[in-house]
């Protein structure tokens, strides 16, 4: 394990300043910074170092881009030089807040720069600039302010799950043959273009969101080649995506809303393949900006919801939410203010009460209203999200959200994420929860998350992360089915299986369900399903004893005696 050099003005045995620690640090060492402010304007040349926040410090990246960073480790620059410049070598930064008044915050030249869970606050310069064949690995960061948020020239690497917001000019600039991959990133409220690619840039953008830019959302110019996959561009002053003459690339599964026309513009002299690109009109928004949606489909889905057995309170809650979403879409089309669009829900209650079915209908309703692009319901549990080593969980969780793009992520038994497996310390469930919180915020306009489980356990789950409860707009309570409802459910199963139930058998079913103990393990509709399977076995045993081939009527009929035998076993 590499040596760790502690920097603290108050802790005995520590280096009083970062500058003194760096004088003694050897390649491969880790410098740990205590809470508070440290002087930046570092010029590191050919070094291999790690600078990280003390574990006791407040996280650098809070719940949102405007989250206060009190108690965090701050590295500040006051002059025209970068707060940190790294020339050659490898530098890793973890959990730090870096600020600059005049210069760039981070400036990498021919270096490998790893930035994890950091917050970069720029004044005049760029928040992060990489040049001269640098390689970036940026994960889970926030870049705020500056003339540009991220500048990559003649360099590459990956930028993942990072928010770039409030740039005075372009949010992201890629040029001079640079080929970075931006994945699951948000570029928000840029003064000019959201993303500007020029001078033979060759980037890839996957599942990125560009919103609120003063000009074009994604502009591709001067011989650049861009691959854009499942990106969303919204609320821009210019067109959503623009490929100029002489450019090339691919646009796959991207979506544009509330942009200048057209949503996606490709010059006739550009070599670009557009696959499944959705403009506002294709998403159910009229060319005049009116929210059209698909009213007939909405009514079909509401009728399907109404046809479900019981769940009157759930149906009323869903209808209430759909009414509000519809009115918000009308307000938006009229140019009126609309609150934040989050569609995440908690479904609390016992198993077998139709939570997954209601979740599927809810997601389809959002798509029919134009509130979501439309996509699958991806039902997942702990094993689908939690990995076996550091970083694996975040990767698996992000992949699940990619697969559910435009639709619903349904977290079944979500509370198991906050329970350590076997009571050990090496459990990554909490890492999954933290990642889910970030993705819920970053993709709140492109998918919905439904967390489901027992009521008491879901309360504990929501307490696992300070920002988790605030991400969900409502908790919908699913009550246990009563005997009348369970009787109706099983009779529907019998009819759907091409069976006929003897009239005398119905009271026996009702009496059975009325007497069933409804403990913590009661399965509701699952109990009805298990009883139906017993009825089929009892009927099969009876028919085999006839000594002759049964008639069609006999093959179909389930008798009162069959029910009596099944419920007594």
Q: Which CATH number fits domain 483-568: 1.10.8.60, 3.40.47.10, 3.90.550.10, 3.40.920.10?
A: 1.10.8.60
- The predicted pLDDT at position 287 comes to 34
pLDDT of residue 422: 42
Report the CATH architecture of 295-478: 3-Layer(aba) Sandwich (3.40)
pLDDT of residue 280: 41
Instruction: Considering the domain delimited by 1-168, tell me its CATH architecture.
Output: 3 Solenoid (2.160)
pLDDT digit of tens for each residue in the chain (569 aa)?
Answer: 568 999 998 888 899 999 999 999 999 999 999 999 999 889 999 999 999 999 888 777 755 555 555 789 999 998 889 999 999 999 999 999 999 998 999 999 999 999 999 999 999 999 999 999 999 999 999 999 999 999 999 999 999 989 999 999 999 999 999 999 999 899 999 999 999 999 999 999 998 999 999 999 999 999 999 999 989 999 999 999 999 999 999 999 888 888 888 889 999 999 999 986 554 434 333 333 334 457 788 888 888 888 888 888 888 888 888 888 888 777 766 666 666 567 888 888 877 888 888 888 888 888 888 777 777 778 888 888 887 766 678 888 888 888 888 888 888 888 888 755 444 444 677 788 888 888 888 777 778 888 888 888 888 888 777 778 888 878 888 887 888 888 888 888 888 888 898 888 898 998 888 887 776 667 778 888 888 888 989 989 999 888 888 898 889 888 898 888 988 87
3-state secondary structure 469-482: HHHCCEEEEECCCC
Percent share of the chain, pLDDT over 70: 90
Question: Considering the entire predicted model, what is its pTM?
Answer: 0.56
pLDDT of residue 66: 55
Nearest of 99, 103, 157, 106 to residue 128 by alpha carbon: 106
Separation of alpha carbons 145 and 120, rounded Å = 9
Q: Per DSSP, which regions of 11-155 are E strands?
A: 30-33, 36-39, 42-45, 48-53, 73-77, 84-87, 90-94, 96-100, 106-109, 112-116, 119-122, 128-131, 135-139, 142-145, 150-153
Is residue 358 within 8 A of residue 314, CB to CB? The reply is yes
Q: Is 553 helix (H, G, I), strand (E, B) or coil?
A: helix
Report the alpha-carbon distance of residue 318 to residue 60 in Å, rounded. Answer: 37
Q: Tell me, what's the pLDDT at 283?
A: 38
Q: Left if phi > 0, otherwise alpha if psi is -120 to 50, otherwise beta: which for 189?
A: left
Note the pLDDT of residue 24.
93
Identify the three-state secondary structure at position 507.
helix
- What's the CA gap between 7 and 15, in Å, rounded? 5
pLDDT at residue 32, rounded to an integer: 95
Domain edges within the chain: 1-168, 169-282, 295-478, 483-568
Partners of 136 in beta bridges: 113, 157
Listed in order, strand segments (DSSP E) in 199-332 are 204-206, 209-211, 218-220, 225-229, 232-234, 239-243, 248-252, 255-257, 260-266, 271-275
Q: How far apart are CA 462 and CA 455, in angstroms?
A: 11
- Contact (CB, 8 A) for 418 and 464: yes
- List all residues 6 or more positions away from 140 whose beta carbon is below 8 Å from its beta carbon: 61, 116, 117, 160, 161, 162, 394, 438
Q: How far is 463 from 452, CA to CA, in rounded Å?
A: 15
* Pick from 140, 167, 128, 179: nearest CA to 60: 140
Helices (H), 377-503: 382-385, 392-403, 429-442, 455-462, 468-471, 483-496
- Distance, CA of 377 to CA of 564 (rounded, Å): 39
| Cβ–Cβ < 8 Å for 121, 127 | yes
Positive/negative CA dihedral, 464, 469, 471, 472: positive
Tokens of 362: 């809810």
DSSP string, 305-345: HHTSSS-HHHHHHHHHHHHHHHHHHHHHHTT---------E
Give the span between the Cα atoms of 324 and 439, in whole angstroms: 24
List Cβ neighbours of 341 (8 Å cut-off, separation of 6 or more).
Answer: 328, 371, 444, 445
Contact 224, 251 (CB under 8 A): no
- Cβ–Cβ < 8 Å for 99, 145: no
Q: Which two tokens stand for residue 327?
A: 């009115």
């Amino acid at each position: 394990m590499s040596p760790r050099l502690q920097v603290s003005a108050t802790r005995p045995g520590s280096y009083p300043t970062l500058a003194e620690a760096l004088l003694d640090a050897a390649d491969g060492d880790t410098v740990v910074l205590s809470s508070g402010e440290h002087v930046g304007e570092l010029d590191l040349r050919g070094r291999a170092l790690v600078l990280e926040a003390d574990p006791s410090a407040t996280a650098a990246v809070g719940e949102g881009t405007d989250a206060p960073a009190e108690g965090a480790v701050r590295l500040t620059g006051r002059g025209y030089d970068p707060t940190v410049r790294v020339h050659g070598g490898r530098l890793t930064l973890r959990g730090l807040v870096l600020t600059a008044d005049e210069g760039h915050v981070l400036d990498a030249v021919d270096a490998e720069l790893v930035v994890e869970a950091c917050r970069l606050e720029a004044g005049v310069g760029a928040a992060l600039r990489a040049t001269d064949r640098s390689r970036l690995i940026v994960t889970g960061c926030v870049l705020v302010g500056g003339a540009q948020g991220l500048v990559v020239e003649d360099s590459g690497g990956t930028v993942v799950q990072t928010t770039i917001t409030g740039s005075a000019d372009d949010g992201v600039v890629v040029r001079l043959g640079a080929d970075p991959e931006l994945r699951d990133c948000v570029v928000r409220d840029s003064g000019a273009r959201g993303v500007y690619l020029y001078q033979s840039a060759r980037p890839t953008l996957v599942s990125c969101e560009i919103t609120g830019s003063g000009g074009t959302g994604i502009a591709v110019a001067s011989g650049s080649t861009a691959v854009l996959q499942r990106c969303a561009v919204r609320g821009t002053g210019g067109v959503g995506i623009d490929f100029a003459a002489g450019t090339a690339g691919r646009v796959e599964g991207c979506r544009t809303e509330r942009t200048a026309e057209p949503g996606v513009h490709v010059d006739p002299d550009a070599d670009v393949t557009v696959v499944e690109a959705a403009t506002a009109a294709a998403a159910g928004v009229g060319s005049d900006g009116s929210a059209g949606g698909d009213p007939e489909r909405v009514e079909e889905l509401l009728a399907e919801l109404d046809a479900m057995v019981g769940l009157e309170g759930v149906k009323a809650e869903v209808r209430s939410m759909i009414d509000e979403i519809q009115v918000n879409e009308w307000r938006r089309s009229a140019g009126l203010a609309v609150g934040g669009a989050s569609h995440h829900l908690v479904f609390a209650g016992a198993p077998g009460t139709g939570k997954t079915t209601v979740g599927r209908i809810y997601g389809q309703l959002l798509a029919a209203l134009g509130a979501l692009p439309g996509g699958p319901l991806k039902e997942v549990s702990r094993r689908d999200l939690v990995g076996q080593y550091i970083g694996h969980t975040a990767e698996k969780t992000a992949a699940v959200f990619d697969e559910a793009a435009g639709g619903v992520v349904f977290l079944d038994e979500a509370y198991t994420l906050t329970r350590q497996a076997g009571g050990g310390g090496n459990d990554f469930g909490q890492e999954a929860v933290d990642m889910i919180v970030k993705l819920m915020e970053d993709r709140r306009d492109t998918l919905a998350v439904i967390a489901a489980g027992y009521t008491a356990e879901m309360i504990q789950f929501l307490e696992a992360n300070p920002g988790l409860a605030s991400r969900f707009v409502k908790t919908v309570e699913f009550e246990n089915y009563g005997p009348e409802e369970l009787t109706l459910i099983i009779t529907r199963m019998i009819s759907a299986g091409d069976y006929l139930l003897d009239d005398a058998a119905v009271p026996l079913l009702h009496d059975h369900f009325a007497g069933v103990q409804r403990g913590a393990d009661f399965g509701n509709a699952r109990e009805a399903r298990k009883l139906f399977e017993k009825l089929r076995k009892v009927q099969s045993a009876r028919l085999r004893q006839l000594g002759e081939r049964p008639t069609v009527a006999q093959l179909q009929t389930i008798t009162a005696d069959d029910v009596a035998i099944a419920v007594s076993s």
